[in-house]
Chain A
Amino acid sequence: MSGRPGLTADQSGHRPAPPGAGVRRRRAWAIPVGRDRRQDGSALVVALAFALVVVLTAMAAIDVGGLVVARAGVQTAADLAALAALTPGPAPPRQAAEAVAAANRARLASCDCEGEEAVVRVERVVRLLPAGPSVRLPARARAILPVRPLFPAAPGGGGAGGQAGGAAFGSDDTGAGVAGARALLHDPRLVLSPNARGDLAAGRVDRRLLGLLAAILRRHRVAVGVFRTGHSRFVAGTTVVSKHAHGRAMDIFEVDGGLVRRGHTPSLELVRWLAGLRGPRRPSEVGSPFPQFEEVPGHFSNRAHLDHVHIAVG
């Protein structure tokens, strides 16, 4: 019924054309063709119009597909450029990021890539086919330095006795009668620098500090860089003797596998827990990258403590 003018007139409520009338209605949208009998090609016209719609849809689909692919490509370029900015190499970070972005067919728009974190913005201009408008596709990526184990694993584990483990600690948190440095030496949750290991093995670390460390280890995995050996005798810039010199302080550089720094949640949790301690376990000094605890007695934050937590007792 599609191509029948008579039906059209009926449906629209008009009276049927008088018999023999030469004028026939045609659909409003039908394209006039230069023939006597206009309705002859109407199906073809419908099909052509439909085909046009299909072609336009196909072009739109190709455009959208191309945009999706390009979008993923730009994100790839951003990710790899951010990684490149942190990759050690001969070129400065920005140039390295620029080269990688270009190799991935994107342009580096900005690179905030000094230090151990890189935030990179790249963009690619995509032309919609055929010869359509250009679209600018931006992408952003952030990378931080991969965290390596701070100290190599304990060489050989210090011989036998490793299985003694943390069990020897029991429930004693106060430091009085701690099973000793020996169990700490074999605690898999504790990473020690060679200096710290030496201090611990030689008994140069205060028992109260060991008790606090054992309590910390129940909550976090930590890496201790310094107890006494390797630390200056005096507090930097002063003639005040540091608590490190008495084996009553330690510097923690890694918490739960992540380097201590501002914005590192496990480190923040550790310091918050320390700030909430009461009684004999309470440390006398806590230096950290987190200034929000400075009102807590004994807590402080300064430039020298952006990368570790200093904990002292007594």
Chain B
Amino acid sequence: MTASDERGAVTLELAAAIPLLAAFTVTLVGVVALAGSQLLAQGAAREGARQAAIGGSGRTAVAAARAALPPGRQAAVRVLRPAPGLVRVEVRLWARLFPGGRVELTAAAVAAVEPAPEPAAEPATPPARPAPTSPPASP
């Protein structure tokens, strides 16, 4: 076997390996993008749940979740009530693992919800406050 023979074989083998490596690289980039999308979904779910927790309605919760996503990003937001006093916001969105291949990602956040706002926020008369004890009486 001569040197030139060897070189050809090496090139051939490398040529076979390169697509493999390229596929790995693409996968790697896809995985990173996937993690980014998952973070996005989670952030949106969290914002929705937080909105619900501080007294928002289902609609404002969905709006808050959508506002946490970049504009134009397709996503499905659902607000569920798995148990009394709990609200669950689910965000589903799609990411590309490979060019053309879509992967569905979901994230959810659960928050406790306040009961419906009380009819009267405050009693008509504030409770009497004790006056200072240390200063002397007024003249």
- Distance in angstroms between the alpha carbons of A37 and B27 in the assembled complex: 35
A-side interface residues toward B, CB under 8 Å? Answer: 2-4, 6, 37, 39-44, 46-48, 50-51, 54-55, 57-58, 61-62, 65-66, 68-69, 72-73, 76, 79-80, 83-84, 87-91, 96, 99-100, 103-104, 146, 148-152, 193-195, 225-226, 230-232, 234-238, 240-244, 246, 248-249, 251, 253, 284-285, 287, 298, 300, 302, 304-305, 308, 310, 312, 314
Given known pairs A87-B114, A100-B111, the reply for A237 and B133 (CB within 8 Å) is: yes
The answer to whether A80 touches B112 (Cβ under 8 A) is yes
Residues from chain A with Cβ under 8 Å of B27 in the complex: 58
- Distance in angstroms between the alpha carbons of A304 and B128 in the assembled complex: 11
- Distance in angstroms between the alpha carbons of A104 and B112 in the assembled complex: 11
Residues from chain A with Cβ under 8 Å of B97 in the complex: none
The answer to whether B24 touches A104 (Cβ under 8 A) is no
Q: Which of B114, B128, B135 has the most CB of A within 10 A?
A: B135
Q: How far is the CB of B52 from chain A (nearest CB, A)?
A: 10
The answer to whether B133 touches A304 (Cβ under 8 A) is yes
The answer to whether A235 touches B128 (Cβ under 8 A) is no
Interface size on B, residues (CB 8 A): 62
Q: Does B113 contact A (CB under 8 A)?
A: yes
Residue from the list B16, B35, B50 in contact with A80, Cβ < 8 A: B50
Residues from chain B with Cβ under 8 Å of A72 in the complex: 39, 42-43, 46
Residue from the list A65, A99, A285, A308 in contact with B35, Cβ < 8 A: A65
The answer to whether B17 touches A43 (Cβ under 8 A) is yes
The answer to whether B128 touches A226 (Cβ under 8 A) is yes
Q: Which of B28, B38, B112, B121 has the most CB of A within 10 A?
A: B112
Between A and B, 30 residue pairs with Cβ closer than 8 Å are A3-B6, A3-B10, A39-B6, A44-B17, A47-B17, A51-B20, A54-B28, A57-B28, A58-B31, A62-B31, A65-B38, A68-B39, A80-B46, A80-B50, A84-B53, A87-B53, A87-B112, A104-B109, A146-B55, A194-B124, A230-B126, A230-B127, A231-B129, A237-B130, A237-B133, A251-B129, A304-B130, A310-B129, A310-B131, A312-B138
- Distance in angstroms between the alpha carbons of A283 and B125 in the assembled complex: 26
B-side interface residues toward A, CB under 8 Å? Answer: 1, 3, 6-7, 9-11, 13-14, 16-17, 20-21, 24-25, 27-28, 31-32, 34-35, 38-39, 42-43, 45-46, 49-50, 53-55, 82, 85-86, 88, 107, 109-115, 121-122, 124-139
Residues from chain B with Cβ under 8 Å of A148 in the complex: 121
- Distance in angstroms between the alpha carbons of A242 and B124 in the assembled complex: 23
Residues from chain A with Cβ under 8 Å of B128 in the complex: 226, 230-232
Given known pairs A40-B9, A68-B35, A230-B126, the reply for A89 and B85 (CB within 8 Å) is: yes
- With CB as the reference atom, state the residue of chain B lying closest to A305: B132
- Distance in angstroms between the alpha carbons of A146 and B56 in the assembled complex: 13
Residue from the list A42, A43, A99, A248 in contact with B112, Cβ < 8 A: A99
The answer to whether B20 touches A47 (Cβ under 8 A) is yes
The answer to whether A194 touches B125 (Cβ under 8 A) is yes
- Distance in angstroms between the alpha carbons of A51 and B27 in the assembled complex: 13
The answer to whether B39 touches A249 (Cβ under 8 A) is no
- Distance in angstroms between the alpha carbons of A302 and B133 in the assembled complex: 9
